[in-house]
Structure 1
Amino acid sequence: MQVIETLAEGLKREIKVVIPAADMKSRLDERLADAKDKVRINGFRPGKVPMAHLKKMYGKSIMADLVNELVRDKPSEIISGRGEKSATQPSISMTEDQDEAEKILAAESDLEFTLAYEVIPAIELKSNEGIKVIREVVEVTEEEINEQILKIAESARTYETKKGKAAEGDRVTMNYLGKVDGEAFDGGAAEDAELVIGSGRFIPGFEDQLVGVKAGDEKAITVTFPTEYPAANLAGKEAVFDITVKDVASAAAVEINDDLATKLGLESAEKLKEVVRGQIESQYSNVTRQKVKRQILDQLDEVYQFDTPAGLVDAEFENIWRQINTDLAQSGKTFADEDTTEEEAREEYRKLAERRVRLGLVLSEIGEKAGVEVTEEEMQRALFAQLQQFPGQQKEILDFFRNTPGASASLRAPIFEEKVIDKLLEEISVTDKTVTKEELLAEDAEEGEKAEKKPAKKKAAAKAEAAEGEEAAPKKKAPAKKKAAEGDAE
């Protein structure tokens, strides 16, 4: 077999592979000899079929299998033998001339095929001593724990019917019928609907007009739907809701005690506080972790600069670009609405894709050199987490991971990356800094405010975080039958 390099330009490689016809004939003869004792042909005893006859009947199909096997298996062997790693699946090209193909199958011509691929660049790891990060830590106070418990307790709060007028915090039970231009609209009616005044569940202005009503009252409430309301036929329209108040109830006081803990499924108030403290600490820890990780990767981004395989960047860019366009379509916006152009956006996201690929290669090299491995148990936990996210679709998800080549890599990659970050944290300079929760969350809050004005920019930030191991949170879809009167709080 001859292996001839025909292109070595940057990361691009092309290799011409030639397997002489004599070698192909030898391989074919071996296969035929092996098949001789196994095939059953009428008129011949087992093992007595003449080789010429066997070749005439099965030679072409056996040779076709040989060619397929060689083209399938040899590329990885060749690339590995060259001390290279292919960034993507190599592209393989062969003759398309029918006559030439027939000669190859008859072992009369050499088998030739070409591999085209990009190599993963050699990465010379550098010392991590210069990497320094600030790890922000929030001390959880008793006051914050109690405040969170009271919020959780809203689900267990009881209400008692009261005489007199409804006030902020009271629960109003009512029937209502909404009309636009005098016509009732779909989703604008309900009976025995319960609404806590001040909860923000209904469109702006609705709840304010319930203050002062009492059981038995009938009232017309006039509101205007927000201009960005999801239902286009209602957006920006004035609506009148005819309501009949059935009941007004005041909220019973909530005390943090063993009774409340029992209602929430825990044995004691002490245990409730312990659980809530753990939840708050976990939330802050996640934010702290991502901030530290971002600092690490920003510094790695400065240290490691090299050409990245275009194929990997193209694939990453397409993933990002597909999501961006989906988000814009769902929001009914264009690039112009985001103060940019498609060309500028493409350039921005292309740079983002290149950064993600480069950092991914760096982390992979660090992890490989450090002997980082992902265990089967960790993979199983990740798969179980996927199954939990999509109840009722467990079979489809399992089939996907079983039958889709490379699908398991989507489970392995984030686990591997986090373990590499853990390894780096053992080697770099980490300084703990106690901050308030407002300081810890300030950066994310600022990004959120900007994102409200520039959704496209928000997605860029989300994808940048994804490059650093954060999964962009999916948008929660509104229930299909959500009443039109209700707002976006749910």
Structure 2
Amino acid sequence: MQVNETLNEGLKREYTVTLAAAEIEDKVQARLAEVAKTAQIPGFRPGKVPTSVLKQRYGDAVLGEILQQAVNDATQQAIAERGLTPAMQPQVEVTKFEKGEDLEYKLKVELLPEIAPMDFSTLELERVVVEVPGDEVDKALERLAQNQRTTKPLEAERPAAHGDVLVIDFKGTVGGEAFPGMEGEDHHLELGSNQFIAGFEGQLTGAAKGEQRTVTVTFPEGYANDQLSNKEAVFEVTVKDILETEATPIDDEMAKTFGAESLEDLRAKVSEQLGQEFQNLSRAKVKRELLDKLAEHHDFEVPPGMVEQEFEAIWRQIEADREGGRSDPDDEGKDEETLKQEYRAIAERRVRLGLLLSDVGQKNGIEVSQDELNKALFQEAQRYPGREREVIEFFQKNPEAIGNLRGPVFEDKTVDFILALAKVEERKLTPDELQKELEAEAAGETADSGSDEAKGKAKGKAKKAPAKAAAEGDAKPAAKAASKSKAKAKPAAGEGAASEEA
């Protein structure tokens, strides 16, 4: 085997690899000898088939098998001898081969960067602490009682009022044309629930049982169905019945319907659940702040191929959002080239953060236990009520899917490791104060500064997590890619000529 380096630029390496024809032929002959031991060919006893017959019958298949194995073996050897650590599956392109001649192929490798993590003890972060006040528990209990309300016929006929449930038949048209989903029978509609298009329910207030009304509304701009977006619709509605709602008392009996022993027990459970929800919001907030600071303090080179794959994944989601009428308002008015530059920068940041977290986790012996993986699997299954067993069986049969669960757990444990080293100050907030801060972050504004510069910076941070990004941060896809690429640093048999999407 001869290996000549043709490119050494940043994290990119390219080589021309030549495998001698004699070496290939020797491996072909050895493989044919193995085949001869079990080959079943009419007219010949097992083990007595002439080599010429074997070549005629199996020669091409054996040659293909040997070439693939030879390329894989040569690729692994070239990488190992040079001490390379591929970031992604190496790319192989056969450039020259004829039967009986040397095989020449081009080997392209992108390397993992050398990462020097900052001193995490110098990080200064803030964690908000939210105590659950009694009135929040009261509001939650009221919402539970609201969901438990029952309906009953009116004791005496009267016009429909806010809070009543109407049993209606309706049929709508746009420009005289009916569209799917614009008609229904015996539909129960609560006035004031905002289940239908804005303005629909208000036009039924005051209706009497048996009355027919014409309701005119306008579908909102950006509606999921482009044919209906910003279009006026006319609905013919028949009010078949009016039901009044009956409040459910907040007492021990209601508590038992939720599996609690008493109202006091239900209050405790609700308080605990609210506390966990606020804790999750707080953790997500400090994690975003941590990722921003890590991005500011690390600027190492990242593999271009990983960035490109991450960008393509983001861009596919952006295009899907466009088709579904869910485009980011901040993207409006920008040409496609500008948007691609912005989202490519997002992809690079995510890859860099993912590689950093992967490196920190591996260097510090962070691992995901089977119990932690089982817990993640159970939580994922709970997202699909009624199909839990199906989801669990899917993951059990697909190791690749299990790997997708392991990545976020590994990342969270690494984040916890860094937070434990950083200086984290706690700040107490009320639920309302936390909500306002989260809304300000989502709007791209800072809670403590009204300057245009501060808003611009905050907006940039918010933009780093497009629709595809998880609410907790924007390093997960890259962390997954880094984990996978390290696991496949050496290509296995049959993989040498393929590149894999991380």
**TM-score, normalized by length of structure 1?**
0.79
Residue ranges of structure 2 left out of the alignment (5+ in a row): 446-458, 478-502
Return the alpha-carbon distance in structure 2 between the equivalents of residues 58 and 234 of structure 1: 63
Equivalent in the alignment of 1:434 = 428
Question: Residues 234 and 178 from structure 1, CA distance in 2 versus in 1: closer, same or farther, beyond 3 angstroms?
Answer: farther
Does structure 1 residue 144 correspond to structure 2 residue 144?
no
Return the alpha-carbon distance in structure 2 between the equivalents of residues 271 and 334 of structure 1: 44
Q: Could you list the per-position Cα deviations for residues 330-361 of structure 1 after superposition, in whole angstroms to 9, with x for gaps in the alignment?
A: 21879997132212111110100000011111
Query: 1:259 Cα deviation (Å)?
Result: 0.6
Question: Residues 312 and 332 from structure 1, CA distance in 2 versus in 1: closer, same or farther, beyond 3 angstroms?
Answer: closer
Equivalent in the alignment of 1:372 = 366
**TM-score, normalized by length of structure 2?**
0.78
Return the alpha-carbon distance in structure 2 between the equivalents of residues 164 and 40 of structure 1: 90
Does structure 1 residue 102 correspond to structure 2 residue 99?
yes
> Equivalent residue of 1:113, what SS?
strand
Q: Is the 8 A contact 2:161 2:206 kept in 1?
A: no
Return the alpha-carbon distance in structure 1 between the equivalents of residues 334 and 300 of structure 2: 29
Equivalent in the alignment of 2:308 = 314
Equivalent in the alignment of 1:89 = 89
Indicate which of 234, 244, 260 corresponds to 1:239: 234
Indicate which of 453, 468, 474 corresponds to 1:468: 474
AA paired with 1:220?
A: R
Question: Residues 47 and 431 from structure 1, CA distance in 2 versus in 1: closer, same or farther, beyond 3 angstroms?
Answer: same
Return the alpha-carbon distance in structure 2 between the equivalents of residues 76 and 383 of structure 1: 34
Residue ranges of structure 1 left out of the alignment (5+ in a row): 104-108, 472-490
> Equivalent residue of 1:431, what SS?
strand
Question: Residues 132 and 203 from structure 1, CA distance in 2 versus in 1: closer, same or farther, beyond 3 angstroms?
Answer: same
Q: Higher mean Cα deviation, 158-167 or 385-394?
A: 385-394
Does structure 1 residue 255 correspond to structure 2 residue 261?
no
Equivalent in the alignment of 1:303 = 297
> Equivalent residue of 2:260, what SS?
coil
Q: How many residues align?
A: 456
Indicate which of 314, 320, 333 corresponds to 1:339: 333
Query: 1:393 Cα deviation (Å)?
Result: 10
Equivalent in the alignment of 2:270 = 276
Q: Higher mean Cα deviation, 257-266 or 310-319?
A: 257-266
AA paired with 1:237?
A: E
AA paired with 2:84?
A: E
Query: 1:10 Cα deviation (Å)?
Result: 1.2
Greater RCO, 1 or 2 (C-alpha within 8 Å, sep 6+) = 2
Return the alpha-carbon distance in structure 2 between the equivalents of residues 73 and 32 of structure 1: 19
Question: Residues 324 and 54 from structure 1, CA distance in 2 versus in 1: closer, same or farther, beyond 3 angstroms?
Answer: closer
Q: Could you list the per-position Cα deviations for residues 378-433 of structure 1 after superposition, in whole angstroms to 9, with x for gaps in the alignment?
A: 444444555554566976996698569x5544332212111111221222112221
Return the alpha-carbon distance in structure 2 between the equivalents of residues 188 and 33 of structure 1: 72
Equivalent in the alignment of 1:155 = 147
Return the alpha-carbon distance in structure 1 between the equivalents of residues 113 and 346 of structure 2: 19
Query: 1:185 Cα deviation (Å)?
Result: 4.7
Matches within 5 A, 1:477-488: none
> Equivalent residue of 1:432, what SS?
strand
Return the alpha-carbon distance in structure 1 between the equivalents of residues 277 and 375 of structure 2: 20
Return the alpha-carbon distance in structure 1 between the equivalents of residues 38 and 172 of structure 2: 82
> Cα RMSD (Å) of the superposition?
3.7
Q: Higher mean Cα deviation, 316-325 or 328-337?
A: 328-337
Query: 1:289 Cα deviation (Å)?
Result: 1.3
Q: Could you list the per-position Cα deviations for residues 187-229 of structure 1 after superposition, in whole angstroms to 9, with x for gaps in the alignment?
A: 5555544333322223333433444455x46363544224435
Return the alpha-carbon distance in structure 2 between the equivalents of residues 346 and 82 of structure 1: 36
Question: Residues 30 and 85 from structure 1, CA distance in 2 versus in 1: closer, same or farther, beyond 3 angstroms?
Answer: same
Query: 1:54 Cα deviation (Å)?
Result: 5.8
Q: Could you list the per-position Cα deviations for residues 154-206 of structure 1 after superposition, in whole angstroms to 9, with x for gaps in the alignment?
A: 22112343436457553243444456699695655555443333222233334
Identity %: 36
Equivalent in the alignment of 2:72 = 72
Query: 1:272 Cα deviation (Å)?
Result: 1.7
Query: 1:324 Cα deviation (Å)?
Result: 0.8
Query: 1:143 Cα deviation (Å)?
Result: 1.3
AA paired with 1:364?
A: S
Query: 1:102 Cα deviation (Å)?
Result: 0.6
Return the alpha-carbon distance in structure 1 between the equivalents of residues 43 and 210 of structure 2: 100
Q: Higher mean Cα deviation, 69-78 or 171-180?
A: 171-180
Q: Could you list the per-position Cα deviations for residues 277-320 of structure 1 after superposition, in whole angstroms to 9, with x for gaps in the alignment?
A: 23212221221111111111111111210221111111111111
Return the alpha-carbon distance in structure 1 between the equivalents of residues 163 and 224 of structure 2: 28
Question: Residues 141 and 331 from structure 1, CA distance in 2 versus in 1: closer, same or farther, beyond 3 angstroms?
Answer: same
Indicate which of 193, 197, 200 corresponds to 1:203: 197
